[in-house]
């Protein structure tokens, strides 16, 4: 056997493994926005996590997800498997210096969206409780990769986040009950979008996920108190009319104080096809600054002290089922964000 053949046999036998780099794993950034199929040319390395991992995906039929993409079976590097039913794939991270080449049936995909997000269908519909007053039936859930330090392993260990429900995803929400009567999915979706998410896109975190065919109340109780999110979670950035010129750092509008924000954002003004690590892709070649708001309005953030409560006499009646709810941009006490951060009140006014 020649030296070159011996070298080739060694490569195949040991799977082209590169040494694992400690600390290379990174956790998913839930608020990062990525345009599918487009990236800045300087960020093409994002297809590998850290400096060594590559995202590899293979085709998996829906019927084979449990066996071919088991959520209970760790990969050879102790990582997670990510089911992507929308594209019929099962994905995982590998640490081979040759990428996916010698992983049979696998090919390279961007990490973001494929090797950080897991979506699975449930065996039966379950009741998802998102707050003390809102529950609904779901038949599918989404989870993200969360990396935490494990004292026993003495390493950063990946795990799945708690169950998230993406309202826009087909098949996630499948109904609810109202005062014991079954109501259809369209009415539930309308209520969640208008009364819970207030027309913003996003996910809802299931504080509890359980089986109950008879009761899963979309508007079970009247909230006793309403409060804002903590500063870093309270999303109240908006374009508001300001009559003063120049616009002040703080401005009183709609019953609250607002803080002045940066008025422009960076957007790509020109895309061109370029050669990336995974082949041809669209790259941004020119950025430009554009205003957040139309003329006559300015970009501000509503500032409310974290954890400040409101009593029930400030509730408003929702338009879906006539139940009482918290005012816009406020949530019931005890509401949890999709990353588990909970809105708690210390004082009530």
The mean pLDDT of 82-91, rounded to a whole number, is 92
Q: For residue 57, is pLDDT > 70?
A: yes
Query: How many CA atoms are closer than 13 Å to the CA of 34, on its beta-carbon side?
Result: 17
Neighbours of 319 (CB within 10 A): 11
Q: For residue 227, is pLDDT > 90?
A: no
Identify the band that residue 28 occupies on the pLDDT scale cut at 50, 70 and 90: very low
Dump pLDDT digits (tens) for 239-298: 999 988 899 998 988 767 788 999 998 888 888 888 766 677 788 888 889 999 998 899
Q: For residue 144, is pLDDT > 60?
A: yes
Q: For residue 173, is pLDDT > 90?
A: yes
Identify the band that residue 336 occupies on the pLDDT scale cut at 50, 70 and 90: low
Q: What is the model's pLDDT at position 308? A: 60
Q: Which of 52-61, 181-190, 324-333 comes out lowest in average pLDDT?
A: 324-333
Q: What is the model's pLDDT at position 12? A: 34
Q: What is the model's pLDDT at position 344? A: 60
First CA to last CA across the chain, in angstroms?
Answer: 84
* Mean of pLDDT over the chain: 75
How far is Cα 126 from Cα 137, in angstroms, rounded to an integer? 5
**Most confident of the ranges 125-129, 312-316, 332-336:** 125-129
Dump pLDDT digits (tens) for 296-313: 899 998 765 555 666 667
Question: What region, left, alpha or beta, does residue 202 occupy, with left being phi > 0 and alpha being psi -120 to 50 degrees?
Answer: left
Q: What is the model's pLDDT at position 323? A: 74
Identify the band that residue 160 occupies on the pLDDT scale cut at 50, 70 and 90: very high
pTM value? 0.54
Identify the band that residue 185 occupies on the pLDDT scale cut at 50, 70 and 90: very high
The residue ranges of every structural domain in the chain are 1-22+46-115, 225-348
Name residues whose C-beta falls within 8 Å of residue 176's C-beta, 6 or more positions apart in sequence: 135, 136, 137, 182, 183, 188, 216, 217, 218
Q: Which of 152-166, 179-193, 200-214, 322-336 comes out lowest in average pLDDT?
A: 322-336
């Amino acid at each position: 056997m020649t030296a070159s053949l011996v070298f080739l046999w060694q490569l195949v036998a040991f799977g082209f493994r590169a040494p694992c780099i400690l600390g290379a794993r990174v956790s998913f950034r839930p608020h990062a926005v990525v345009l599918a199929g487009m990236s800045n040319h300087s960020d093409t390395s994002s297809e590998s996590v850290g400096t060594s991992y590559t995202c590899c995906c293979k085709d998996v039929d829906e019927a084979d997800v449990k066996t071919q993409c088991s959520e209970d079976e760790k990969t050879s590097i102790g990582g997670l498997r990510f089911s992507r039913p929308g594209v019929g794939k099962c994905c995982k991270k590998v640490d081979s210096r040759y990428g996916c080449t010698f992983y049979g049936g696998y090919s390279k995909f961007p990490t973001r969206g494929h090797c950080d997000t897991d979506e699975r269908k449930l065996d039966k519909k379950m009741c998802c409780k998102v707050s003390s007053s809102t529950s609904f039936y779901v038949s599918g859930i989404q989870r993200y990769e969360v990396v935490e330090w494990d004292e026993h392993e003495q390493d950063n260990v990946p795990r799945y986040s708690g169950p998230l429900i993406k309202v826009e995803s087909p098949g996630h929400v499948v109904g609810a009950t109202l005062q014991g009567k079954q109501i259809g999915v369209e009415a539930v979706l309308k209520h969640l979008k208008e009364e819970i998410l207030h027309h913003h896109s996003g996910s809802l975190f299931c504080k509890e996920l359980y089986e109950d065919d008879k009761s899963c109340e979309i508007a079970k109780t009247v909230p006793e108190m309403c409060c804002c999110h903590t500063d870093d979670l309270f999303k109240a950035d908006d374009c508001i009319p300001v009559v003063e010129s120049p616009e002040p750092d703080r401005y009183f509008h709609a019953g609250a104080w607002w803080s002045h924000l940066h008025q422009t954002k960076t957007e790509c003004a020109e895309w061109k096809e370029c050669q990336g690590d995974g082949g041809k892709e669209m790259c941004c070649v020119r950025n430009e600054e554009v205003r957040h708001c139309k003329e006559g309005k300015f970009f501000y953030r509503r500032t409310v002290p974290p954890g400040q409560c409101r009593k029930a006499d400030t509730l408003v009646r929702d338009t879906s089922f006539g139940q009482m709810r918290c005012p816009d941009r406020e949530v019931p006490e005890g509401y949890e964000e999709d990353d588990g951060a909970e809105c708690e009140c210390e004082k009530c006014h």
